[in-house]
Structure 1
Amino acid sequence: MTACRWERLACIRFLHMLQEARKPRSEFIYDADRVADVCAFGETLPHSKGFEGTIVLEPVQCWWLAAIFGFRERDTGRRWTREVALWVPRKNGKTELAKIVVLYCQNFEGEPGAEGVIIAGSERQADIPLKAIRHTIDEVAELRDWTLAKGTHEEIRFRRHNAVLKLLAGRAPNLDGLNPHVVLAEEVHAQNQDVIGVIKTTQGARLQPLWLGISTAGRNATGPAYDGWKSDQQVLEGKMRADRVFIAMYAADVEDEERRFDPIIVEKLNPLFGISLNPVSLETEEREARKSEAKLQEYKRTRLNIWSRAAGNLFSVESWDACGDPKLTLDALRGYPMLVGVDLASHSDLNAACFLICVEEVLYAVFRYWLPERSVRFQDDRYADQFAAWARAGHLTLTKGSHVHHPTIRNDVLAMVRGHNVAGFAFDQHQADYLMGEVEAEGYAAYIVPKVAKHITYATDDIATRHQDPERFQHDGNPISSWCAGNVVGYRDANDNVLPKKEQKGSRQSIDGMDALISANAARLQAEAGNIAGGVKVIKPNIYLERGLIGFDA
């Protein structure tokens, strides 16, 4: 069976963890007996519906359970994995997996008073796994008697260890007194993401909490749940660290979408194809999807895990990384005209500069990033470790305090351009007044690049095309730039002008490095067209003159 790209990345990540677990100084070990125990427990439970007899775990389900329960803290023996994100199309055994995990966590992890919570976008959705667990307790007398289980419509109590499993759908904003050992989040894409964030904080007092998020792709690719999806992809790609998070994702790539009805594509995106997902039932769905756009969108969402109405990514991370060369330095390009793009953040977020040099037909880009040492980024569990690692590796400069320190950025930028043939600086107008004044005082030309589609379309499309060919574009391999590139989506208007933006306003998925690059490229194109001063000589006719590129003073 062919595996999708994201599944392969998850397997590689799992294998790397196994290697790390063997090292004597590793913080965690791998305990195969723990995995055998939870798998054996799972196979004593009955199917919830659709099948007779007890559950027979498939190899992929054993892998999921191994990733959750196999890694243990070396010093304490507690479960290492604290968060699970399982992005899988419908009818791939999610409910059965959730049932096994929740019952095991509440009754067999030695956690007294192990509170469990099921959350979903609606009570009806949350009731699906609760009914499955209640059915299991009714069917398995030995389990019921040993756990002293007693259920009501809204909760199940396991009186042997004073544990309780509750529903929170419909009352989720009232979170007073919660202290859950295990949280099952059903269909994460349909939930209130603010509530999800609050519930995660309620697990802080537990010694080995588990967050289990299970979902298909959603219907709103501009919502905060999609932000989490993108973050999980970046963890799988190695762009972000999340050592205690296990992610398994089954999702189509662009070429898969083009072959969306090919049984081979459907099979590789559905890990229980032919087992819990009946291929015959897909024939009706396919016929309907061929006749109706609405049915097609739902088919792609539920069978291929493609988010509805997703804006197009401007950059391929794989193509971007292929253009990276960590040995690239500005010293190697000394003497050639340089354009510097600067994107400054407000208050306490990421700041970026891109030093862009064109040598014949090749663009070379070197990036620099700054972040306040007391930035809120270091209070965000999802990003704190990664930003700290980037700082330790020298990819990120930390400035003093909790707010952006523009004088530090000024000194660093001016030091980097000293001795170079600087044609000009390009700024986004936001937060630019101080630094623009400083570079002009040093004798450099400074320009504002309006963040309006008609002003930056040519510069954006030029980079989007070049980054697919290392012979036309190369950069210094800064991993922050790769992360930013993966976060950029393109919004096009009726005239095919494109505006590069985050997936949604307020997203923590930064694009500052790409903003700086595009601003520098816009200035470069203007300079080549003779529209700005700075000593750039136009050697041959430029297509952007013929296209009538709008000047900075427009």
Structure 2
Amino acid sequence: MKKPAFPHVEAAEQYARDVVKGKIVACKWVKLACKRHLDDLKKQRRRDFPYRFEPAKAERIIKYLQLLPHTKGKWAAKRSTVQLEPWQKFGIGIPFGWVRKKDGRRRYRTIYFRVPRKNGKSIIAGGIGLYMFTADGEFGAEVYSGATTEKQAWEVFRPAKLMVDRTPELKDAFAVEVNASNMVRLADGSRFEPVIGKPGDGSSPSCAIVDEYHEHPDSSLFDTMETGMGARDQPVMLVITTAGSNIGGPCYQLDRDCQKVLEGTVDNPELWAIIYTIDEGDDWSSESALKKANPNFDISIDGDFLRARQRDAMQSASKQATFRTKHLNEWVGAKNGWMNMLKWAACPPRKSLAELEGRKCYIALDLASKVDIAALVAVFPPTSDDPLWHVHGRYYAPESRVLEQADNNAQLYQSWHLDGVMTLTDGEVIDFEAIKEDLRTFATRFDAVQVPYDPFQAAQFAQEMLAEGITMVEVGQTVRNMSEPMKEVEKLVLERKLAHGNCPAMTWMISNVVAKIDVKDNIYPNKERAEQKIDGPVALIMAVGRAMLNEEGPDLSDFISNPVIV
């Protein structure tokens, strides 16, 4: 039998075919990634399809990576070179084989790789970085391993540096000079180095590797790297990460974009994505879940090790979130989070404010601090012809603190401001006049039944609004006041009756909420760290609480609140 011209590519594509046919157990996202490539192979014959697959290019990077040595563990001790598994050949090689028909440049500019821990991420990231540094043909290549901490930045750079040190042939062939904190090629000035935070002015990355993106509080590093790539013909942004706990962060947002591309609901032909995890509804405590999420099961990650971690998680609720995040690659909210964020993300679409014009609503205010965040959240209860609870929020922060980066969440607040979700008011403190104006607008456009508020910081505000005819209701943030409405919000999400519109600000804050439970099974919204804001959820809970008292619904005799101020 004649040997295939490109055996590694053939192995990669056989993997894709086996996944699509169900011969290899894989989650929905891996199946869609495989199907996308196989479908595009058929489309490339069409004149109107702007891309073609060149197997030689994919074969080349796979061969290169398999010349590199392992840097730790049993294979490093044996001085073995990297041997990529079929799933790695598919995930790494295939995107490098796709080019644009018009000029032969690479099709994929962003490669997103989400895979659980110990499945060879460092080898993948470091190897691709070295390829882009030495063998991609880019004159004056600049490769950066970017992260939020020095330790994380070196997680990619250190293995790459060791690979060069242990491969004299590679060092000599490309005239690589290995220094303490970078590698350079004197012939053309190419360099490979770790970066903490943003790269310096004038940087022009040909390849940027963002490792463990889920740990990044904002997208500043990603955005700066991407912006600097403008002068390059075919740059690569490689994001390689596990899942995390920051549902409102940039990694989760990118992850959601990747899912939409794989599903075909968003067209981004320059984004390559592959995600290894389990499917919704899978039994996370089963052995099949371990194998589905971990493509290198019993290869680079020991099956017995995973089984032991799984048993620990089954016996200890405190270990479950960590196990499911790191080893099953599932996103969770706060580490001991209240809300099931997958259920939250699956809530139905909400109606626009224009569609809700004149409808009954409850508008809650959380004005806890003038130097932090304030929240106004309007909740529209169900009607006879609409079973959903619709939620719209407005959020406020002082502009000076955001522009001066005085707040850890300044980047998030700026993006929400651009999205029209957050108002940045002039000065060092929140200008309550902006909130009053929004409240007046809501009260005019809708049937505002009540406006619950926490009396802390809000007494004068409430008196002024009361004088204008708005029904203000004082609701202290006590366990007795918050427990039942908080349980009701969770119930509405699980029943898919809360239409929140995937507002990025509310979603981020919901993911920060930790449910503090007392001996009587009462719950109360809390947070783990000061920067994890929960003002929006607190206002949501208060608004739902007042609606529960005034609308037909469950018996809430235990829900105690002060009477309406008259």
So what's the TM-score if we normalise by structure 1? 0.68
Q: Matches of residues 142-541 of structure 1 in structure 2 within 5 Å? A: 143-152=170-179, 154-166=181-193, 179=203, 181=205, 182-184=207-209, 186=211, 201=224, 205-206=228-229, 207-208=231-232, 212-216=238-242, 227=249, 229-236=251-258, 248-251=274-277, 256=282, 259-260=284-285, 262-273=286-297, 275-277=299-301, 279=303, 282=306, 302-305=326-329, 310-318=335-343, 321-326=346-351, 334=359, 338-343=361-366, 352-359=376-383, 364-367=389-392, 369=394, 405-406=434-435, 408-417=437-446, 420=447, 422-429=448-455, 432=458, 436-437=462-463, 439-470=465-496, 473=497, 475=499, 477=501, 479=503, 483=507, 487=511, 489-495=513-519, 496-500=521-525, 504-507=529-532, 514-527=537-550
State which drifts further: 289-298 or 301-310: 289-298
Q: 1:122 to 1:282 in 2, by over 3 A?
A: same
Q: 1:438 to 1:196 in 2, by over 3 A?
A: closer
Q: Return the offset for 1:254.
A: 7.9
Instruction: In structure 2, list runs of 5 or more residues that go unmatched.
Output: 1-23
State which drifts further: 475-484 or 145-154: 475-484
Mapped to 2, the partners of 1:348 and 1:11 lie a distance apart of: 46
Is the 8 Å Cα contact of residues 155 and 167 (structure 1) preserved in structure 2?
yes
Q: Return the offset for 1:37.
A: 1.7
The letter of the residue matching 2:555 is I
Matched, 1:543 2:564: no
Aligned counterpart, 1:534: none
Q: Return the offset for 1:467.
A: 2.7
Mapped to 2, the partners of 1:19 and 1:369 lie a distance apart of: 47
- For 2:126, what is the secondary structure of its paired residue? helix
State which drifts further: 313-322 or 122-131: 122-131
The letter of the residue matching 2:462 is M
Is the 8 Å Cα contact of residues 266 and 304 (structure 1) preserved in structure 2?
yes
Q: Return the offset for 1:314.
A: 1.8
Matched, 1:43 2:63: yes
Q: Return the offset for 1:268.
A: 1.2
Mapped to 2, the partners of 1:387 and 1:57 lie a distance apart of: 45
* Aligned residue among 118, 123, 126 for 1:96: 123
Q: Return the offset for 1:102.
A: 0.4
Q: What fraction of aligned residue pairs are identical, expressed as a percent?
A: 18
Q: Matches of residues 111-126 of structure 1 in structure 2 within 5 Å? A: 111-112=139-140, 114-117=142-145, 126=154
For residues 144-177 of structure 1, the C-alpha deviation after alignment (integer angstroms, 9 at most, x for no partner) is: 4441123355543323322233457xxx599878
Q: Return the offset for 1:451.
A: 3.7
Matched, 1:110 2:138: yes
Aligned counterpart, 2:86: 58
Q: Return the offset for 1:305.
A: 3.5
Is the 8 Å Cα contact of residues 146 and 221 (structure 2) preserved in structure 1?
no
The letter of the residue matching 1:424 is Q
The alignment's C-alpha RMSD in Å is 5.7
Mapped to 2, the partners of 1:196 and 1:397 lie a distance apart of: 18
The letter of the residue matching 2:522 is N
Is the 8 Å Cα contact of residues 328 and 475 (structure 1) preserved in structure 2?
no
- For 1:46, what is the secondary structure of its paired residue? coil
Mapped to 2, the partners of 1:400 and 1:203 lie a distance apart of: 30
Is the 8 Å Cα contact of residues 278 and 292 (structure 2) preserved in structure 1?
no
Mapped to 2, the partners of 1:124 and 1:477 lie a distance apart of: 34
Q: 1:424 to 1:73 in 2, by over 3 A?
A: farther
Mapped to 2, the partners of 1:24 and 1:342 lie a distance apart of: 57
Mapped to 2, the partners of 1:163 and 1:254 lie a distance apart of: 45
The letter of the residue matching 2:57 is D
Mapped to 2, the partners of 1:442 and 1:469 lie a distance apart of: 38
- For 2:494, what is the secondary structure of its paired residue? coil
- For 1:520, what is the secondary structure of its paired residue? helix
Mapped to 2, the partners of 1:350 and 1:23 lie a distance apart of: 54
Mapped to 1, the partners of 2:182 and 2:505 lie a distance apart of: 47
Q: Return the offset for 1:413.
A: 1.0
- For 1:354, what is the secondary structure of its paired residue? strand
Mapped to 2, the partners of 1:451 and 1:15 lie a distance apart of: 55
Is the 8 Å Cα contact of residues 99 and 107 (structure 2) preserved in structure 1?
yes
* Aligned residue among 53, 59, 80 for 1:32: 53
Q: 1:291 to 1:443 in 2, by over 3 A?
A: closer
Is the 8 Å Cα contact of residues 155 and 165 (structure 1) preserved in structure 2?
yes
Is the 8 Å Cα contact of residues 354 and 513 (structure 1) preserved in structure 2?
no
Mapped to 2, the partners of 1:69 and 1:342 lie a distance apart of: 54
Aligned counterpart, 2:20: none
Mapped to 1, the partners of 2:366 and 2:43 lie a distance apart of: 38
* Aligned residue among 158, 161, 173 for 1:130: 158
Mapped to 2, the partners of 1:314 and 1:286 lie a distance apart of: 22
Q: 1:70 to 1:431 in 2, by over 3 A?
A: farther
The letter of the residue matching 2:297 is F
The letter of the residue matching 1:311 is N
- For 2:362, what is the secondary structure of its paired residue? strand
Q: Return the offset for 1:456.
A: 1.2
The letter of the residue matching 2:91 is W
Q: 1:242 to 1:488 in 2, by over 3 A?
A: farther
The letter of the residue matching 2:392 is F
So what's the TM-score if we normalise by structure 2? 0.67
- For 2:392, what is the secondary structure of its paired residue? strand
Q: Return the offset for 1:89.
A: 1.9
State which drifts further: 269-278 or 233-242: 233-242
Mapped to 2, the partners of 1:19 and 1:552 lie a distance apart of: 68
Q: Return the offset for 1:372.
A: 9.2
Is the 8 Å Cα contact of residues 199 and 224 (structure 2) preserved in structure 1?
no
Q: 1:371 to 1:280 in 2, by over 3 A?
A: closer
Q: Return the offset for 1:465.
A: 0.8
Q: Return the offset for 1:358.
A: 4.9
Mapped to 2, the partners of 1:371 and 1:120 lie a distance apart of: 27
State which drifts further: 306-315 or 64-73: 64-73
Mapped to 1, the partners of 2:356 and 2:193 lie a distance apart of: 62
Instruction: In structure 1, list runs of 5 or more residues that go unmatched.
Output: 529-538
The letter of the residue matching 1:425 is V
The letter of the residue matching 1:114 is E
Q: Return the offset for 1:462.
A: 1.0
- For 2:546, what is the secondary structure of its paired residue? helix
Mapped to 2, the partners of 1:386 and 1:72 lie a distance apart of: 35
Is the 8 Å Cα contact of residues 323 and 469 (structure 1) preserved in structure 2?
no
Q: Return the offset for 1:458.
A: 1.0
Q: Return the offset for 1:364.
A: 3.3
Is the 8 Å Cα contact of residues 56 and 97 (structure 2) preserved in structure 1?
no
The letter of the residue matching 2:515 is Y
Q: Matches of residues 79-94 of structure 1 in structure 2 within 5 Å? A: 81=109, 86-94=113-121
